[in-house]
Structure 1
Amino acid sequence: MQDDTWRDHLANERTHLAWLRTGAAVLVVGLAVMRFADPDAVTRASVLSGLPLVLTGVAAVLYGTQRYRHAHRRLVALDPRPPGTLGPSIAAAVLVVAFVLTAVMLTFVD
């Protein structure tokens, strides 16, 4: 393998790890909102505010893994085309921000 190919594989792995870290962080925030929004018990409001964050975290991990595998196959095949559009990444970022704001509103606004 050439040096550039190794560098591309390592960059792909770093990107995958970033997706995993981000997904895990969003998932943990969702679990924290579900549990700690009301210290006495898990309520319907805390579940409704934390569940979208948990689902978004899981989706980020799944999407990052799918993206990693797709890029890996293209790198192995020496396919020079770019990996695709930024649409799903931008949509995921917008969803995370929307869910965080929703969780904050449902948790702290009566």
Structure 2
Amino acid sequence: MGKERGGDDTDPSHARDHLANERTYLAWLRTAANVMALGLAVAKFVENGRLRSLAAGALLMAVGAIGLAYSAVRYRSAAADIRQERLGAVGRTGGALVAGVVLAVACAAALLLLW
């Protein structure tokens, strides 16, 4: 009897894939939360809350919030791919690369605002 389309979530390989997806999601969440915390710290403690430090903090918080949203979309998409036994996520590194570039640019912009 063959496996039906849609997968079997009791299959150890599916469980392993789902757990790996969840670990990746949690890593994205940690990173986004740390960026947002950095934004709060910059806004509150750098230059006594001047406009430039508030703008730098707001920029970092916005990038963190975007990271939270992106991580949720990515997690749900990968979970659906795993359930449907699709290899959609394999080789898809464009989103992570863009997220890294956005984070680097946001940090550079925040530093320039504070300089």
Which TM-score applies when normalising by structure 2? 0.83
Q: CA deviation at 1:77?
A: 1.9
Matched residue pairs, number? 105
Letter in 1 for 2:105: A
- Secondary structure of the residue aligned to 1:15 is helix
Select which of 25, 39, 43 maps to 1:34. Answer: 43
CA RMSD of superposed structures (Å):
1.4
**Corresponding position of 1:23:** 32
Select which of 7, 10, 13 maps to 2:22. Answer: 13
- Secondary structure of the residue aligned to 1:78 is coil
| Larger Rg over CA atoms | 2
Higher mean Cα deviation, 93-102 or 62-71?
Answer: 93-102
1:105 aligns to 2:112 (yes or no): yes
Q: Percent identity?
A: 35
Unaligned runs of 5+ in 1: none
Give the Cα–Cα distance (whole angstroms) in 2 for the partners of residues 23 and 59 of structure 1: 8
Give the Cα–Cα distance (whole angstroms) in 2 for the partners of residues 88 and 57 of structure 1: 15
2:81–2:88 Cα contact (<8 Å) kept: no
1:92 aligns to 2:99 (yes or no): yes
| Off by >2 Å, runs of 4+ in structure 1 | none
- Secondary structure of the residue aligned to 2:47 is coil
Q: CA deviation at 1:82?
A: 3.0
Which TM-score applies when normalising by structure 1? 0.87
Q: CA deviation at 1:104?
A: 2.0
Higher mean Cα deviation, 12-21 or 92-101?
Answer: 92-101
2:14–2:82 Cα contact (<8 Å) kept: yes
1:77 aligns to 2:76 (yes or no): no
